[in-house]
Amino acid sequence: MTLPTRQIGPLTVSAIGLGCMNICHVYGTPPSEQDAGALLNRALDLGVTFLDTAAIYGLGQSERLIQRHVMHRKAEFTLASKCVMDAPDGKTRVLDGSPTAITATLDRALQRLGTDHIDLYYLHRPDRNVPIEESVGALKQAVQAGKIGAIGLSEMGAGLIRRAHAVHPIAAVQSEYSPTVRNPEVAVLDTCRELGIGFVAFSPVARGLLAASVRDDRFEQHDIRHTMPRFIGENLAHNLAVVAKFEALALEAACTPAQLALAWVLAQGDDIVPIPGTRSIAHLEENVAAAAITLAPDVLDEVATLFAGTIRGARYAAFAQATVDTELLPDEELA
């Protein structure tokens, strides 16, 4: 199966990719290894050519699953992973953007993935203790050594993007972007377009909020949404009332809510590639089908208007919020 393609810097990828965080942790009980492998292979069969993982996902388990189940099909996909957020001892999570830490994380990733080259390698978060120029400098050396093909940034604002791009061309900037999370529209998308950088949208269905899978805050014990203010208590009750109107729009548009969210993100520019994650093959197939949906201009406008300043609660708990570049946080999330 063939999907439409889009350009991320020098890389040509499917218009919808696959985020590989869900296959090992974060949203409650992860799938079995067999199910994770089946999901990865089904994504490739459906024409997905962009897999996105990170050192911190499952403390390296996501990278290991990719190695065990689809690296024999590497010619079929572009592989992205990330550094800075890592667990060097396999247990304790750290945020370290120093060149020494970046080099060590990359070498461990290459070993876990069973390869000598990663197509796109991101700085997962800014390290406020290390100048961005030093972190990008380490990745520039990795490009020169042939260990990575292109450099990306995640959850960084326009100022850091420009500083990083001055050291080495940045291929992609990744941040949360969906009808409910519009922070990149403030300056990031314009900066990326000015500099010729692709934009990768993670959580494009708002961590399930726009996929008809969140109805209350009774999440599983290890589900990260327990810690996210917009998914808890009165905030969630308010947000679900707004989402109900979104689901009505999806019904009118003859698609599922998740497909409406993904089609909306895709329509914001042909330089944007959403990477929804899932543990379900059925949801994967539903997501991929959104690449064929074209929304009428009035529907796009209705979605944008519906979520203009209406979602309550910060994106992250305070400890996680502190790792995001403040340029990407609206005033109410800085309080």
Q: Are strands 85-86 and 78-83 parallel, antiparallel or unpaired?
A: unpaired
CA angle 156, 157, 161 (to 5 degrees): 80
Tokens, residue 282? 């059925």
Active site residue 57: yes
CA 170/CA 167 separation, integer angstroms: 9
Whether the Cβ atoms of residue 178 and residue 168 lie closer than 8 Å to each other: no
DSSP 47: T
At 100, the amino acid letter reads: T
CA 247/CA 238 separation, integer angstroms: 15
- Minimal CA–CA distance to 287: which of 255, 307, 262? 262
Phi–psi pair at 229, nearest 5 degrees: -55, -35
Tokens, residue 164? 């990083």
Phi–psi pair at 295, nearest 5 degrees: -90, 145
DSSP 253: T
Say which of 27, 57, 122, 177 is annotated catalytic: 57
Tokens, residue 119? 């197509």
Whether the Cβ atoms of residue 279 and residue 38 lie closer than 8 Å to each other: no
Q: Which residues pair with 172 in a beta bridge?
A: 152, 198
Whether the Cβ atoms of residue 253 and residue 260 lie closer than 8 Å to each other: yes
Q: Strand, helix or coil at 8?
A: strand
Whether the Cβ atoms of residue 181 and residue 328 lie closer than 8 Å to each other: no
CA 37/CA 135 separation, integer angstroms: 33
CA 85/CA 93 separation, integer angstroms: 7
Whether the Cβ atoms of residue 46 and residue 1 lie closer than 8 Å to each other: yes
Active site residues: 57
